[in-house]
Amino acid sequence: MDVLKKYSIAHKGLGMGAHRFEFEVDDRFFEAFEGSEIRKGSAKATVEMDKQSDRLSLRIGIRGEATVECDRCLDELTLPVEYDGTLCVRYGQTENESDGEVMWIGPGETEIPLAQYIYESICLSLPCQRVHPDDEHGRSTCDPDMLGRFRIVSEEEFDGMAASAERGASPWDKLKEIKTGE
Ligand SMILES: [Zn+2]
């Protein structure tokens, strides 16, 4: 069964007025999105829906955490997820379509698919800069082993690498020098 199928609301048989739904997001949810920058996570999405004759108004709140790759040391970094948004679902003439705020669903569609919306909302709620925070002494809490392995090459070292590359030497030899010279 499609893992994402359960993140849908069967709206057809529902009466007018308020309805509430909850969805649990877990590691398998993120695995279902190919190339996801979120490796794993755990969150709860709460949907408050108001059904009207011509549309469905959804208020969606997501709380939990998501694990991404730290931009600096590439080790795992777990960030809080906090998102609140609204989505208006309208009945369209053609296929399902969404611009993030309004979703059109076809007249024959019995379910509102929310997996993509939830996924994108979680991604949006994460900060642009994803690095381990400094501790109370101002020291980075990044994994020191990982940092050593993926040390950022300074501008000077980079120039040196470029120069030796021009002379025909492999920049990787220079990198090795830098590494062993520590
Ligand atoms: Zn880090």
What is the distance in A from the centroid of ligand 1 to the CA of 123? Answer: 19
For 136-169, the pLDDT digits (tens) are 988 889 988 877 776 556 666 667 767 766 676 5
Split at pLDDT 50, 70, 90, the class of 89 is very high
What is the distance in A from the centroid of ligand 1 to the CA of 147? Answer: 8
Task: Point out the least confidently predicted range of 4-18, 39-53, 117-131, 140-154.
Answer: 140-154
Interatomic CA distance for residues 178 and 172, integer angstroms: 10
| pLDDT of 170 above 90 | no
Which among 89, 87, 93 has a CA at the least distance from the CA of 107?
93
What pLDDT sits at residue 148?
75
Answer yes or no: are the C-beta atoms of 60 and 84 closer than 8 Å: yes
For 104-117, the pLDDT digits (tens) are 988 788 999 999 99
Answer yes or no: are the C-beta atoms of 142 and 132 closer than 8 Å: yes
For 50-84, the pLDDT digits (tens) are 999 889 999 999 999 999 999 989 999 999 999 99
What is the distance in A from the centroid of ligand 1 to the CA of 132? Answer: 4
Which among 37, 44, 40 has a CA at the least distance from the CA of 27?
40
| pLDDT of 38 above 70 | yes
Structure token digits, residue 71: 């931009």
| Ligand 1 ion: nearby residues, β-carbon < 5 Å | 70, 72-73, 132, 142
What is the distance in A from the centroid of ligand 1 to the CA of 109? Answer: 44
What is the distance in A from the centroid of ligand 1 to the CA of 62? Answer: 25
What pLDDT sits at residue 182?
44
What is the distance in A from the centroid of ligand 1 to the CA of 129? Answer: 11
What is the distance in A from the centroid of ligand 1 to the CA of 136? Answer: 16
